[in-house]
């Protein structure tokens, strides 16, 4: 009897590192907002929820020299950021899919996953900007000119915000409203990022102007009548309690949204307040933390945001590699990092691949941020 040799078909192409490198490249190519804000990154490994200190872009005061100098410490420009935005996409993969070359695997698995991550990062940045803006400009319902954008630029001028590195990110509704009144034509070049080139509309009143489909908005055909409320919920809950609703019998419509702590939530059902309160109403995702009458920023119409690059920060760090890290890898570059982990679902007997990113967002200077709504 001849003993046959067991042949192990080792895939030397789709290693975790190869996939991580490709995932990072695809993620970078699909981001808009993340390329427009201040970025802080280091190679240190952290855990979800860690709070780190980052250095803010330095600010100095031009002092009148009177014979002696008074030094200014650039380390004073620091702030803390909690790395609490942990995004995970875990997918089942078959042995057939793992035999694909990296190009085909990227088209079938990596690209859709990284597109979803990119949309989440952009949406988070836009939500923070919209809720932390130092001033909000009312958008003209049917504009006949670009006065709204001029008002934004004027607001930044009066706040002495540097002219260079100003950005305006328009909600699609605003983009097309203004495009019909003036020649907001897309320029042919905006760096190396194709998504950024597609998003760039041109420079208008000192503002490099972009469009982002992830800008805050309501999904409701007609928004509810409530004009303000406070939110209470336990961490992880998918329902919230609203108090201090204005007016006393104000309504909430399915699809309306609110922002708390820079996190945006959409209502999953209609509700009507009784004596300024809604006892319970469903939302589209688990609450990020326990909330006790947190003041909400209501999103009942399209929101656009203008900001200086140094007004908002995206902070990323490497996630720790799991034990047995031979089946995991991290790719990092230009202030972004993606972790890829191979796994096996024992319960369902399936191979899995997870794509993880960890980041925090911080408003560095509210006077450098203006909302349009």
Is 10 among the domain residues? no
pTM metric for this prediction: 0.85
The phi and psi torsions of 239 (rounded to 5 degrees) equal: -130, 150
> Which helix or strand (DSSP H or E) is residue 248 part of?
none
Digit-coded pLDDT (tens) for 50-94 = 888 887 776 666 666 667 777 766 655 678 899 999 999 999 988
pLDDT(189) > 50:
no
CB 294 within 8 A of CB 232: yes
Domain membership of residue 251 as a residue range: 228-299
- State the chain's mean pLDDT as an integer: 85
Most confidently modeled range among 125-139, 185-199, 203-217? 125-139
Residues 21 and 110 in one domain: yes
Residues 20 and 121 in one domain: yes
Is 61 among the domain residues? no
Residue predicted with more confidence, 203 or 170? 170
Is 59 among the domain residues? no
Is 221 among the domain residues? no
Digit-coded pLDDT (tens) for 159-176 = 999 999 999 999 999 988
pLDDT(278) > 60:
yes
The phi and psi torsions of 76 (rounded to 5 degrees) equal: -65, -25
pLDDT number for residue 73? 66
Burial of 50 (0-12, 13-18, 19+ CB in 10 A): middle
Domain end marker among 245, 264, 299: 299
The phi and psi torsions of 20 (rounded to 5 degrees) equal: -60, -40
Residues 122 and 141 in one domain: no
- Band (pLDDT 50/70/90 cuts) for residue 283 is very high
Q: What is the number of domains present in the chain?
A: 3
pLDDT number for residue 51? 87
Is 141 among the domain residues? yes
How far is CA 146 from each of CA 133, 174, 364, rounded to the nearest angstrom?
Answer: 20, 11, 28
Residues 120 and 140 in one domain: no
pLDDT(184) > 70:
no
pLDDT number for residue 11? 43
Digit-coded pLDDT (tens) for 299-340 = 999 999 999 999 999 998 888 888 766 789 999 887 788 999
Residues 21 and 125 in one domain: yes
Residues 121 and 142 in one domain: no
Residues 324 and 340 in one domain: yes
Please list, in sequence order, all residues whose beta carbon lies within 8 angstroms of the beta carbon of residue 370, skipping any fewer than 6 positions away: 133, 134, 135, 136, 137, 152, 155, 156, 305, 306, 307
């Amino acid at each position: 009897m001849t003993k046959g040799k067991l042949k192990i078909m080792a895939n030397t192409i789709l290693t975790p590192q190869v996939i991580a490198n490709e995932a990072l490249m695809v993620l970078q190519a699909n981001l808009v907002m993340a390329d427009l804000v201040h970025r802080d990154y280091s190679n240190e490994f952290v855990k979800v929820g860690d709070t780190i200190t980052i250095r803010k872009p330095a600010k100095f005061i031009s002092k009148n020299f009177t014979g002696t100098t008074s030094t200014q410490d650039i380390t004073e420009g620091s702030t803390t950021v909690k790395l609490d935005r942990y995004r995970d996409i875990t997918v089942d993969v078959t042995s057939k899919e793992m035999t694909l070359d990296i190009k085909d695997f990227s088209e079938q698995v990596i690209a859709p996953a990284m597109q979803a991550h990119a949309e989440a990062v952009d949406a988070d940045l836009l939500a923070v900007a919209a809720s932390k803006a130092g001033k909000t400009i009312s958008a003209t319902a049917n504009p006949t000119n670009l006065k709204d954008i001029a008002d934004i630029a004027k607001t930044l001028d009066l706040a002495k915000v540097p002219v260079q590195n100003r950005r305006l990110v328009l909600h699609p509704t605003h983009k097309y409203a203004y495009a019909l009144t003036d020649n907001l034509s897309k320029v042919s070049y905006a760096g190396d990022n194709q998504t950024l080139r597609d998003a760039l509309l041109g420079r208008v009143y000192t503002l490099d102007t972009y469009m982002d489909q992830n800008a805050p908005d309501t999904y409701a055909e007609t928004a509810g009548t409530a004009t303000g409320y406070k939110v209470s919920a336990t961490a992880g809950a998918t329902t919230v309690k609203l108090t201090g609703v204005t007016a006393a019998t104000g309504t909430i419509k399915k699809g309306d949204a609110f922002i708390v702590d820079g996190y945006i939530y959409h209502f999953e059902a209609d509700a009507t307040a009784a004596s300024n309160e809604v006892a319970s109403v469903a939302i589209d995702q688990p609450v990020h933390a326990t909330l006790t009458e947190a003041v909400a920023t209501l999103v009942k119409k399209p929101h656009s945001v203008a900001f200086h690059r140094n007004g908002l920060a995206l902070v990323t760090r490497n996630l720790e590699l799991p034990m047995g890290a031979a089946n995991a890898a991290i790719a990092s570059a230009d202030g972004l990092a993606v972790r890829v982990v191979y796994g096996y679902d024992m319960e369902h007997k399936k191979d899995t691949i997870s794509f993880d990113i960890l980041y925090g967002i911080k408003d560095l200077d509210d006077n450098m941020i203006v909302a349009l709504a």
